[in-house]
Amino acid sequence: MTTTPTAGGFTGELDQAFAPAAAGGCCGSAPSATATAETPAATSPCCGTAAEATEAGSCCGTAAKAEAVEAGKGCCG
Amino acid sequence: MTSPTVGPVATGPTTPDAAGRMHAVVARLAAGDFQGRRVGTPGGKGAAAWLVSHLESLGAQAFTDSFPVRNAVKELSAIPVLRWTTASGKQNLVHRQDFAEHLASAYTPGLVTGPIAAPDGAVAGAWVLEPSYNAARAAELADVGAAGIVLPRGTDDAGLMPKMIAGPAACPLPVLSVRTDLFEAMTATVHSGQPSEIEGSVPLRTVDVEGGNVHGIFRTPIEGSLSVLLTAHFDGVGDDPGGVRFPAACDNASGVAVVVETAQRLHGLLPAEVGLAVALLDAEEAGAHGSAHHATYLAAGTLVINMDGAAQLHQAAAVEASGPAHSLLAALDQAGRETGVALRGQAMPSDNRRYAAAGFAAVGIGMGMPGYQTPAETPNRVEAATLLAAADLITATVLHLSRTA
CB contact under 8 A, B164 and A10: no
Q: Are strands B175-179 and B148-153 parallel, antiparallel or unpaired?
A: parallel
Q: Does B326 touch chain A (CB under 8 A)?
A: yes
CA atoms within 13 A on the CB side of B260: 34
Task: Give the ipTM of the model, two decimals please.
Answer: 0.75
Summarize pLDDT for A18-76 with one digit per residue, the tens: 876 443 333 333 332 223 333 333 334 456 666 666 666 666 666 667 666 665 555 54
Give the pTM.
0.90
Q: How is domain B16-70+208-404 classified at the CATH fold level?
A: Aminopeptidase (3.40.630)
More confident position, A68 or B269: B269
Q: Is the pLDDT of residue B267 over 70?
A: yes
* CATH of the domain spanning B80-202: 3.50.30.30
pLDDT over 60 at B254, yes or no: yes
Question: How high is the pLDDT of residue A44?
Answer: 40
User: How much of chain B exceeds pLDDT 70, in percent?
Assistant: 96
Q: Which of A1, A32, A74 sits opposite B11 (nearest CB)?
A: A1
A48: left (phi over 0), alpha (psi -120 to 50) or beta: left
Enumerate the residues of chain A whose CB falls inside 8 A of the CB of residue B320.
Answer: 17, 20, 29-30
Contacts of B374 (CB under 8 A, 6+ apart): B96, B156, B158, B160, B161, B162, B163, B246
pLDDT over 90 for what percent of chain B?
A: 86
Q: Do B319 and A17 touch (CB under 8 A)?
A: yes
Q: What is the pLDDT of residue B402?
A: 96
Q: Measure in Å the smallest separation between the Cα of A62 and chain B Cα atoms.
A: 5
What is the CA B239 to chain-centroid distance, rounded? 14
Tally Cβ neighbours within 10 Å of residue B50: 18
Domain ranges of chain B: 16-70+208-404, 80-202
Residue of B nearest to A66 (CA): B167
Which pLDDT score is estimated for B306? 97
Q: What is the pLDDT of residue B11?
A: 59
Angle CA B268–B344–A13, to nearest 5? 105
* Average pLDDT across chain B, whole number: 94
pLDDT (tens digit, 9 = 90+) per residue, B319-348?
Answer: 999 899 999 999 999 999 999 999 999 888
Q: pLDDT tens digits for B128-186? A: 999 988 999 999 999 999 999 999 998 888 899 999 998 888 999 999 999 999 999 99
For every residue of A50-63, DSSP letters joined together read: HHHHHHHTSSS-HH
- What was the pLDDT predicted at B405? 77
Question: Residue A33: what pLDDT?
Answer: 26
pLDDT(A15) > 50: yes
Q: Give the pLDDT of residue A38.
A: 36
Closest CB to A59: pick one of B14, B349, B363. B349
Q: Helix (H, G, I), strand (E, B), or coil: what is residue B63?
A: strand
